[in-house]
Chains A and B, each alone.
Chain A
Amino acid sequence: MNEQQRLYLVQARSDWEVYQLLKSGPVCHRLHDFQMCTEKLAKAYFWRSSNAGNLGHAAFVKFVRAIATNQSVATNLGFYNTRSFREWIKDVSDLAYELQALAPSLAHDGPNPEYPWPRDKPEHAPVEHDFEAWHRIQTPNGRHLWIMIDKLLENFDEWF
């Protein structure tokens, strides 16, 4: 692991810890930490190459696509054929799009966990909003995503 990867990884792990600490906190803050963790985890992975500086907020969807064909990850997560792993990662990929869209710059004038929206004339505050993405994270597919992130953060050094 190079220094750029380490920096993103430790920050992603810290976001994950904060996410877990906020168990009784407002959903918007938990979602924010969840989304930031996924983005930094993805960047920790892509910084293996020197051209990862411009990935922006869309890194996590790309990351999920990248590890979908990573045999080590599949095996370490307990999948021994591509079909079952593909089904599993497909569910994760769908949720990854929803998480990615929460970043304020990608949410445009829609719901995001950080700032009231729309920007020009705010009508909603994140802390009062019922985020659909949060409900999706509570589903079995969301559980898949949670497990994946937890395992990848824990084993990043070994698996990548």
Chain B
Amino acid sequence: MPEIEDLVPTLANLPRHEYSELIRQVDERRRRAVEGDSLENWPNDATSKDEFAAWIACQHFAIDKGITRILYLPAGAPAEEVRLLEVNALASLPENAPLQAVDFMPDIEGVHYSLFVADATPRQFEEILSGRLALPAGWQLAGYQEIPAMKR
């Protein structure tokens, strides 16, 4: 497996259309790799909060090429609320602005959980981990569960 540092110079010199095609192919392969059985059906009233969080995270990984990490933050959340911190390498966020939790309002038959998602750039994520950047009000990093990107 080549190191990222070795790949960057080569990829940086690719013509734009070839780079786009490369990204498309890699993306397609990654998506196929993560398609597990549990992703094929909508959650229902028997789905636990943790299962729902994992399902949502997997969907977000699968459809959004910018997302590199997703942390599920159950500590301190209301019983029916799922909180996800999503690290997005392509996000256009002001680096110095406070993180914002957005209500994603899932509309799935039989599922009554609410869903809040906060996006962070990779740099913001490092600052969160080091305690220099606060999470949205009321959110806690303690006890977070990272949803693996390739093992869903």
Contact = CB atoms under 8 A, between A and B. Distances in A.
Contacts of B108: 69-71
B106 A70 contact: yes
Nearest to A132: B16
A79 to B, nearest CB: 11
Q: Please report whether the interface of chain A is mostly helix, strand, loop or mixed according to DSSP.
A: helix
Contact of B41 (A65, A82, A93): A82
Interface in A4-45: none
B62 A86 contact: yes
A68 B63 contact: yes
B103 interface: yes
List the 10 closest A-B pairs by CB distance, nearest first: A49-B103, A71-B108, A58-B92, A90-B63, A66-B104, A70-B107, A106-B92, A72-B107, A68-B63, A93-B63
Interface of B: 16, 24, 27, 31, 35, 39-42, 56, 59-60, 62-66, 90-94, 97, 100-109, 115, 117, 119
Interface of A: 46, 48-49, 51-52, 54-58, 61-62, 64-66, 68-73, 81-83, 86, 89-90, 93-94, 97, 100-101, 106, 132, 160
